[in-house]
Amino acid sequence: MKRSVFLILCCFVLLASGLHSQTIDLKEKNLKAINSFMSLETLDDEKVVRVIKDSTIKEFDECTFVRINNLDFSNGTIEVKVLSRLLHDAPDFSRGFIGIAFRINEDNSKFESIYIRPTNGRAEDQVRRNHSIQYFAYADYKYQRLRKESPEMYESYADMGLNEWIQIRIEVQDQKARLYLNNNEQPSLIVNDLKLGGNMQGAIGLFVDVGTEGFFRDLKVYKK
């Protein structure tokens, strides 16, 4: 009963805020692998998209995602469930990198992204824990530059682990973005100055990086 009331209230909130809901059908015709390899599989009795970075791409924070076709996004909310594993040949610095790229321009030369590092969420090293979540903007504001120029501003901690489903929700409004994990009421990361500006719009991508075997399902987009 309580859950039904909650869902009804959520619907009223979405209608009142002017958001238009769209559940994305993750079929091959709607997807395009960019510097990555994609397959449609079944995991935990659910249909999922499996994504692995192209190993020939050696740099980090690159265009290594599956792009959603015919989807233009500027402001609104992106929701998806992700599960991350390490590949058998993953280098020792792999962290299970997985997340969402958004506002991807037509030729994939610019986009914003927020991703998580599940191995860091329960590490015994506190510094690693502090780097559990990451924002970056391609191509000029990768994590190395942001960490050097603005320590702690674009990274944060949240509890998470490998081989478990994690719900990601990213709320975007102009130059601001908030990341929520697992239906938490409070955001785990707040970005108040998205580096590409507030007028960008473009596609959404299912992002992974080195050493990750990433799985995605239940992608929903609420656009303003």
Residues 32-75: tens digit of each pLDDT: 999 999 999 999 999 999 999 999 999 999 999 999 999 999 99
**Rounded distance between C-alpha atoms, residue 122 and residue 83, angstroms:** 16
- Domain CATH for 217: 2.60.120.560
Torsion angle of C-alpha atoms 127, 79, 164, 153, degrees rounded to 10: 0
Residue 175 in domain: yes
- With pLDDT > 90 as the criterion, what percentage of the chain qualifies? 86
The whole-number pLDDT of residue 10 equals 52
Q: What is the DSSP letter of 2?
A: H
Asked whether residue 4 is domain-assigned, the answer is no
**17 belongs to a structural domain:** no
84 backbone dihedrals φ, ψ, rounded to 5°: -125, 135
pLDDT one-digit tens code per residue, 106-133 = 999 999 999 999 999 999 999 999 999 9
Q: Which structural domain, as residue segments, surrounds residue 153?
A: 22-223
- In this predicted structure, the answer to whether residue 9 has a pLDDT above a threshold of 60 is no
* Secondary structure class of 134 (helix, strand, coil): strand
The owner of tokens 């239906």 is 183
Residue 115, in any domain of the structure: yes
Q: Which helix (H) or strand (E) holds 200?
A: none
For residue 52, which amino acid is it? I
CA distance 200 to 105: 8
Number of separate domains in the chain:
1
Question: Which neighbouring-strand residues pair with 177?
Answer: 172, 191
